[in-house]
Amino acid sequence: MLETVPAAAARQVPGACPHDCPDTCALVTTVQDGVAVRLQGNPAHQPTDGVLCNKVSHYLERTYHPERLLQPLRRSGPKGSGRFEPVSWDAALDDIARRLSAIAARDPQAILPYSYCGTMGLVQGEAMAGRFFHRLGASLLDRTICASAGAEALVQTLGAKVGMKVEFFAEAGLILVWGSNAITSSVHFWRLAQEAKRRGARLVCIDPRRTETAEKCHEHVQLLPGTDGALALALMHELVVHDWLDHDYIARHTSGWEGLRERALRWTPERAAHVCGIPAQQIRDLARDYGTIRPAAIRLNYGMQRVRGGGNAVRAVACLPALVGAWRHRAGGVLLSSSGFFPADRAWLQRLDLLGDRRPRTINMVTIGDDLLRPSSPSFGPAVEAVVVYNSNPLAVAPESGKVARGFAREDLFTVVLEQFHTDTVDYADYVLPATTQLEHWDIHGTYGHTDVMLNQPAIAPVGQSRPNTQVFRELAQRMGFTDACFRDSDEDLCRRAFGGHVDFERLLGQGFASLHIPDAPFADGGFPTPSGKCEFFSERLARQGLDGLPDHVPNYEAAGSSQRHPLAMISPPARNWLNSTFVNVQSLRDIEGEPLLEIHADDAAARGIVDRQMVRVFNDRGEYHCRARVSKRARPGVVNGLGIWWRKLGANGTNVNELTSQRLTDLGRAPVFYDCLVDVQPA
């Protein structure tokens, strides 16, 4: 399959990148004498094109890392100390099963699973784990920490998490990269944008930070955080005023235009310019581009969602393509997520039906800080007595982490963490169970970037005593007396049935990927998966919930300039060489990132007597975070950029940027507002 193979006995195993990244690359692992000796991108898989990002190029370093957790551990010091003693798997699982059973006998809702996308795999994600917790009757977890504001917005507007096929961005005439640092977070999409650029396309980046991506676009609209809704409405204003509209497409394939038109007419470029902190002329120019260049494609991403009005902002942007008829062309439209195209059989994988007629409460993963500190009450139910964490590192990634740490430090909380590494969360565990990496287990993946199903086959045996998540939940189920047949499905069975009959599994076994059959221009003739079949500018479903049926600009909870005590808006986008808090412990990658940084504009630095590379204290009423200031052109006046997500224990004062973020939720989707956060900065 690949050209250079080290030696005769080597074997090549197709796999899939497990990370939370829209590119979902196809991997090829070369194995010799049971050891993975090389990991490459699969050249036969078109979206991967044989190339991996820098992070995953170092995946072997991760798998064979000297600090890999290789045996089960039991706490031997105070909570949070990270001191452990080795214990056998049997002893650990027996004791965990005993303790969980005792809590469940009182009320299983006192047990909480906590997981996210350490792996995006359907099998090592919520398959056996879902079955286990549903059978148990544990609290349900609302998995909202990343994408649910935009997801809800897409569902309400387009009908599902669907959009343009990513490969056709290469043919676009105009690309708006809206709320995404694509060079960092989806480098394969960026290659397509570069191809379009070479063919003459115009690229515009809309981002409060002057990112690497912004630098490489023709135009950078450097708006204030959380003002995208206002910008989108002002673009509509200009489309109406100049009649850059596709009246036929609007009439046939949209609903609610009269109301939206009226609202847009209230958003003159001057009004939006004031809100967004950018020149009105820049808005006019952008509207002219969008109204006149064909085909026009929008790569809409997560930056704009992590604020109070994130859902409304995504709704407003998602309306734009229908206004100009961009969907008629396969290189026109918008892409936020393609995950709604994948027909995964989650009901079978996760078996919600095992709940029977029990209806456990749901806890939002964003508010874990508050919820771990909440006592029992009639409205909340029982206090949380046990947490089982897998595929996530809540101490580092959840907002207002001072409270998260206090919650996990409770002596009466029983915490089990399934992990590959000694993360901040592991420090607070009662039991640590070593988990396999992607090279050591089966899995199957959809994606939110392209439209191929990906299969991951194990390339090597589990390292040390590590076990796949699935195996841990199977064994716990057995120890807790859950005899249901579904706990005997093997990981390969789970992969085989995950997509029912929708994909050819033999093909997946052979080459590692299989494309879904989706039309090139899915909405050229309307046919949106909404109740009306139209692009719903006005959402009846939202109106019935008592919400605004039309998209609007919803200001931040903590809008830039609204507080004298904390006058700076802080955003905390991801660093290039990590994936959220994953890879922070890979030394070669940490060497590139250096140390925790806060980018600050020269004017804001001068006003505070801060010089470049000085240690600073970043603070608000929720906490303080110490790091090095970087006086930088990447920061605009009034906005500082705290790049994430460092492990707390590697930070200057044992915290990271989430010490400052709040647990408030977005307008739609109950999501976090990481980038809706006011702070001030002083020399430390």
Q: Which residues bind ligand SF4 (CB under 6 A)?
A: 17, 19, 21, 23-25, 52-53, 55-56, 187-188, 579
Work out the burial of residue 614: count CB atoms within 10 Å of its CB; fewer than 13 is exposed, 13-18 middle, 19 or more buried: middle
Instruction: Identify what 133 binds: Mo ion, ligand MGD, ligand SF4, none; CB under 5 to 8 Å per kind.
Output: none
Nearer to Mo ion, 146 or 250 (CB): 146
Instruction: Identify what 23 binds: Mo ion, ligand SF4, ligand MGD, none; CB under 5 to 8 Å per kind.
Output: ligand SF4
CA within 13 Å, CB half, 247: 3
Nearer to Mo ion, 87 or 146 (CB): 146
Residues 435 and 470 sit within 8 Å (Cβ to Cβ) = no
- Residue 7 CB coordination number (10 Å): 9
Is residue 582 at the binding interface for ligand MGD, with CB under 6 A as the rule? yes
CB of 161 to ligand SF4, least distance (A): 18
> 3-class DSSP state for residue 619?
strand
Residue 72 φ then ψ, to 5°: -65, 150
Residues 596 and 661: their CA atoms lie apart, in Å, by 16
**Can you list the positions of beta strands (E) in 59-178?**
73-75, 84-86, 111-115, 140-142, 174-178
Residues 579 and 589: their CA atoms lie apart, in Å, by 11
Is residue 576 at the binding interface for ligand MGD, with CB under 6 A as the rule? yes
Instruction: Identify what 52 binds: ligand SF4, Mo ion, ligand MGD, none; CB under 5 to 8 Å per kind.
Output: ligand SF4
Instruction: Identify what 144 binds: ligand MGD, ligand SF4, Mo ion, none; CB under 5 to 8 Å per kind.
Output: none
Residue of minimal CB distance from ligand MGD? Answer: 303
According to CB under 6 A, which residues from 273 to 302 bind ligand MGD?
301-302
Contacts to Mo ion by CB under 5 A: 146
CB of 424 to ligand SF4, least distance (A): 21
User: Minimal CA–CA distance to 538: which of 309, 264, 301?
Assistant: 264
Q: Site for ligand MGD (CB under 6 A): which residue of 580, 632, 663, 666? A: 580
Token pair 């003739």: residue: 525
Q: Site for ligand MGD (CB under 6 A): which residue of 181, 312, 415, 466? A: 181
Residues 73 and 432: their CA atoms lie apart, in Å, by 5
Which residues are registered as beta bridge partners of 615?
628
Is residue 470 at the binding interface for ligand MGD, with CB under 6 A as the rule? no
Residues 587 and 647 sit within 8 Å (Cβ to Cβ) = no
Q: Which stretch binds ligand MGD (CB under 6 A): 274-282, 290-298, 449-457, 579-587?
A: 579-587
Work out the burial of residue 177: count CB atoms within 10 Å of its CB; fewer than 13 is exposed, 13-18 middle, 19 or more buried: buried
Residues 28 and 620: their CA atoms lie apart, in Å, by 47
CB of 587 to ligand MGD, least distance (A): 16
Nearer to ligand MGD, 299 or 329 (CB): 299
Residue type, 274: H
Which residues are registered as beta bridge partners of 443?
456
Q: Which stretch binds ligand MGD (CB under 6 A): 179-187, 333-341, 480-488, 616-624?
A: 179-187
Q: Site for ligand MGD (CB under 6 A): which residue of 391, 451, 456, 666? A: 391
Per-residue mark of binding to ligand MGD, 409-448 (x: CB under 6 A): ---------xxxx-x-----------x-------------
User: Minimal CA–CA distance to 558: which of 402, 395, 405, 399?
Assistant: 399
Residues 306 and 671 sit within 8 Å (Cβ to Cβ) = yes
Residues 72 and 604: their CA atoms lie apart, in Å, by 49
> Which residues contact ligand MGD (rule: CB under 6 A)?
20-21, 116-119, 124, 145-146, 178-181, 184-186, 206-209, 211, 225-226, 228, 301-304, 307, 390-393, 396-397, 418-421, 423, 435, 469, 571-574, 576, 578-582, 644-645, 657-658, 661, 674-675
